[in-house]
Chains A and B, each alone.
Chain A
Amino acid sequence: MEDHEEMSFRYTMIGAAVSIFIFYLGLILSLFYFVSGKGFLEALTHPYTLFSIRLSLTAATLATFFAVLIGLPSAYALSRFEFVGKRILDTFLEIPLIISPIALGASFLVFFNTPLGELIQTKGFFFVFEVPGIILAQFATIAGLATRLMKASLDEISPRYEAVARSLGSSPWQAFYRVTLPLSFRGLLGSVILSWAKAFGEFGATVTLAGAMPGKTETMPIAIFTALASANIDKAIVLILILLAFGLLTLYCVRLTGKRYRYD
Chain B
Amino acid sequence: MIRIEGLTILFESFKIMNLNIQIEEGGFHFLLGPTGSGKTLILESIMGLRKPKTGRIWIGDKEVQGLPPERRGISYVPQDLALFPHLTVKENILFGIRARDLDMKIYEEYVHALVEVMRINHLLERYPANLSGGEKKRVALLRALAPKPKLLLLDEPLSGLDPSIKVDIQHLLKNLHASFHPTTLCVTHDFEEVYFLGDEMTIFIDGKVEQVGKRDDVFWGPKSKKVAQFLGAKNLYRAKVLRNEKSLQRLILGVNGLQFSIPMGLYQDKMEIGREVDLFIRPEEVMIIREGKFVKDSLKENILKGEIIDITDKERSRTVYFQTMEGKILFEISIPNYAFRNLDLSTGKMVRIALREESLWVMV
Contact = CB atoms under 8 A, between A and B. Distances in A.
B96 A169 contact: yes
A167 B85 contact: no
Chain A interface extent, by class: 20 to 34
Interface stretch (B75-83, B278-286, B354-362): B75-83
Nearest to A163: B49
A160 B96 contact: no
B69 interface: yes
B80 A264 contact: yes
A158 interface: yes
A257 interface: no
13 contacts: A161-B84, A163-B69, A164-B76, A164-B82, A164-B84, A168-B70, A168-B96, A169-B147, A170-B70, A183-B84, A183-B85, A261-B85, A262-B85
Interface string B34-47: 00000000001001
Given A163-B49, A179-B84, A264-B83, A168 B100 contact: yes
Nearest to B47: A167
Contacts of B81: 264
Interface residues of B, number: 32
A182 interface: yes
B129 interface: yes
B78 A163 contact: yes
A263 B75 CA distance: 21
Given A168-B143, A183-B84, A261-B129, 13 more contacts: A161-B82, A161-B84, A163-B69, A166-B47, A166-B49, A166-B68, A167-B76, A169-B100, A171-B68, A262-B129, A264-B80, A264-B81, A264-B128
Given A174-B99, A264-B128, A264-B136, A167 B69 contact: yes
Interface in A121-169: 158, 160-161, 163-169
A164 B70 contact: no
B85 A166 contact: no
Given A183-B85, A183-B86, A264-B83, A160 B78 contact: yes
B99 A165 contact: yes
A160 B74 contact: no
Given A183-B86, A264-B136, A168 B80 contact: no
Contacts of A169: 70, 96, 99-101, 147
Contacts of A183: 84-86
A84 B256 CA distance: 59
A168 B99 contact: yes
Nearest to B101: A169
Q: Name the residue among A174, A262, A264 with the largest chain B CB count within 10 angstroms.
A: A264
The 9 closest A-B pairs by CB, nearest first: A168-B96, A169-B100, A169-B99, A261-B85, A166-B69, A167-B76, A262-B129, A160-B82, A170-B99
A264 B85 contact: yes
Nearest to B44: A163
A262 B126 CA distance: 13
Contacts of B83: 264
Contacts of B48: 166
Interface in A227-264: 261-264
Contact of B95 (A160, A168, A262, A264): A168
Nearest to B133: A264
Contact of B80 (A160, A165, A261): A160
Nearest to A161: B82
A14 B199 CA distance: 62
A81 to B, nearest CB: 12
Nearest to B95: A168
Contacts of A178: 99
Contact of A165 (B44, B74, B95, B101): B95
Question: Which of B44, B80, B99 has most chain A Cβ within 10 Å?
Answer: B99
A261 B92 CA distance: 15
Contacts of A171: 68, 70
Interface string A11-44: 0000000000000000000000000000000000
B245 to A, nearest CB: 58
B131 to A, nearest CB: 9
A167 to B, nearest CB: 4
Contact of B70 (A158, A166, A179, A263): A166
Contacts of A262: 85, 129
B169 to A, nearest CB: 16
Contacts of B82: 158, 160-161, 163-164, 264
A161 B80 CA distance: 10
Contacts of A160: 78, 80, 82
A10 B96 CA distance: 51
